[in-house]
Amino acid sequence: MFSTKKRLDHAYKTAHRVAFNSDSKFILFSDCHRGDNSIADDFAKNRNIYYHALKDYFKKGFSYCELGDGDELWENSKFSSILDAHKDIFLLLEQFHEQDRLHMIWGNHDMVYRNKNYVNRHLSTYYDKKIDAKVPLYKNLEYHEAIVLIHEESGQELFLTHGHQADWWNYVFWKWSRFLVQILWKPLNVIGIADPTSPAKNYKELIKVERRIKKWIKANNNLITVVGHTHRPRFSEPNKTPFFNDGSCVHPRSITGIEIENNSISLIKWHIETRSDGILQIVRTLLVGPRSLNDYQQN
């Protein structure tokens, strides 16, 4: 636990602080694992659901917070291949960025983004084949290990991070994990064999990660904490440890996330539904909430 505590303490102390109020609206997604649209790209199955949801949130004035593992940079060595596969999504995210409504956190699968030079070199521009020139993409974009939302009136804090700080193998030895994924688990994943080191695919590891994070929350005055990493959606009741997980965008035929709106928090799902006339439509379903943030009191 000491190492987990040390890593989460550091993430909290160095977190990017963002003020919010009762009029603020945030959508929290994580673990998109955007890939190159190959057979190993888990995100490709849900890209239309994700893109529709993103357009809806942009139109309604939400800010977008991505809690890590947005891009799959273990299976894919180059961001350019991911950009080529999902360019429309990145251009939509750029619109959030232009309006200061984009907040990005790095996880273990995109941990290279903690290097500002890497982000500037690979994400600030892209090559447009139509005009045979480089054009701007994410100008002055910064990735953070964590974000703390601070309410302007009450001072209440929400701690947002990826959660792999509680997973020593995927935090300390992430480069070794990336190497194993590239040479071993990526080809095996295609034929249905899961990576046992991933808490998203190993239930025992998942429980250990959640237990460590909850212990840290209790030791830090029941600080409301939202993570991803395990891919398991979690929503806390007010009388419980305020541990939340937004799930992932690679569930079978659905994506999950957490909304913060009207000073309340909700767990939601976007998925495909068949109408009575046989037409398929993408719909948003409220899973849990909304719960007022005021119901979660810090000690």
pLDDT recorded at residue 271: 97
Residues 52-90 have pLDDT tens digits of 999 999 999 999 999 999 999 988 888 999 999 999 999
Task: Judge residue 113's burial from the number of C-beta atoms within 10 Å of its C-beta, 0-12 exposed, 13-18 middle, 19 or more buried.
Answer: buried
Beta carbons within 8 Å of 254's beta carbon, 6+ residues apart: 46, 49, 269, 270, 271, 272
For residues 65 and 226, give the distance between their C-alpha atoms in angstroms, rounded to a whole number.
Answer: 11
Global pTM value? 0.90
A 10 A CB-CB count for 127 gives 12
pLDDT at 201: 63
Average pLDDT over residues 141-152: 97
Average pLDDT, the chain: 90
Asked whether the predicted pLDDT for residue 224 surpasses 80, the reply is yes
Task: Give 176's pLDDT tier (boundaries 50, 70, 90).
Answer: low
Q: Which of 19-28, 156-165, 197-206, 217-226 has the lowest mean pLDDT?
A: 197-206
Please indicate whether residue 207 or residue 103 has the higher confidence score (pLDDT).
Answer: 103
**Closest C-alpha among 70, 128, 132 to residue 97:** 70
Domains of the chain: 2-268+287-295 (3.60.21.10)
| Amino acid 1: pLDDT | 46
Q: Does residue 45 carry a pLDDT above 80? A: yes
Of the given ranges (10-19, 112-121, 125-134, 241-250), which has the lowest mean pLDDT?
Answer: 125-134
Rounded Cα–Cα distance for residues 110 and 31 (Å): 10
* Interatomic CA distance for residues 250 and 33, integer angstroms: 8
Q: Assign 3-state DSSP to the chain and report helix, strand, coil percentages, each to 5.
A: 35, 30, 35
